Structures are given as C-alpha cells and as structure tokens.
Amino acid sequence: MTKQDQLTVRPALPEDEAAVRDLAANMATTFEVDRDSFHTSFHALINAHGAFVLVADTGGRVGGYLLGFRHLAFFANGPIAWVEEIAVHEDLRRQGVGARLMEGFENRARAGGARLVALATRRAGDFYEAIGYEPSATYFRKLLTG
C-alpha cells in the first residue's frame, strides 16, 4: 500500500494540535510559533464558522495541514476562499499530500458556494501552477508592532 492509498484529508481534531503546531513552527519564517497562542488559536479555529483546518492523515500520522477561510467578497458577488497556510512534512513532499489538501479545501469551498480559491506564496509557485492555479496579483504586507 502506498502513502497515497493511506492518505485521508479530514478536519483537524483537538488531538492533532501538537502535530499541526510542529508543522506550523517549521513553516513559519516571520514569526515564532508560541505554544500558548497556538493552543488558543487552534481550538478557536477548529470550531470557527468559515474557517477550515484540514489535516492530511497518512495512516495515523498528521503529514500536513491546511488553514483556510471562506468569506464574502464584493468583487466576486459572493463567497471566496483563501488559503492562509499549508505545510507538508519534508519527507512527504512531492507525493501528492499538498495537492490532496488543496483538493479537500477546494471541495469544501465549492460546497459553500465559493467562486474562487486564492492564496499568497513565494516559495511554491511551481506547485500551485501544477495543480491549476495561475498568478494573479502582487502580495503586499506591513508588520504591525507594539
């Protein structure tokens, strides 16, 4: 049986917290993931309307996660979906885990009436293009301090 055969994309459960936190900490480049803040956010998000915390369960191991949101937007005449974070264990990359997480989110976004899925990235453009995404805009940010 291949890892792809064992892969299930499902909503995150409370017991997935440590695995998702470890993946988030390894992905983070601007901020350090604080254990207490993560705990509060994780439990709020897995229960929040319009928020999706999905995990790639690879035979009992959380091999990746996706955090996304569905919300209304004027320009789309209805809901859109935004991928905020996606991370896959390094040893599982290039095995379809990320694509399956994206597919799981797209299916949930579509079921909720979303007109599009969007995200910002600077490290994985080739991956997103390979699964049908196209570049659309430049991403700007401003860190708020204090």
CA distance 64 to 97: 7
| Beta-bridge partner residues of 65 | 55, 87
* Whole-number pLDDT of residue 146: 64
- Contact predicate 31/41, CB 8 Å: no
- pTM score of the predicted model: 0.88
**Which helix (H) or strand (E) element contains residue 95?**
none
pLDDT in tens, 21-44: 999 999 887 888 999 999 999 999
For the chain, give me the number of helices (H) and strands (E)? 5, 5
**Comparing 63-67, 80-84, 111-115, 132-136, which segment has the lowest mean pLDDT?**
132-136
pLDDT of residue 4: 58
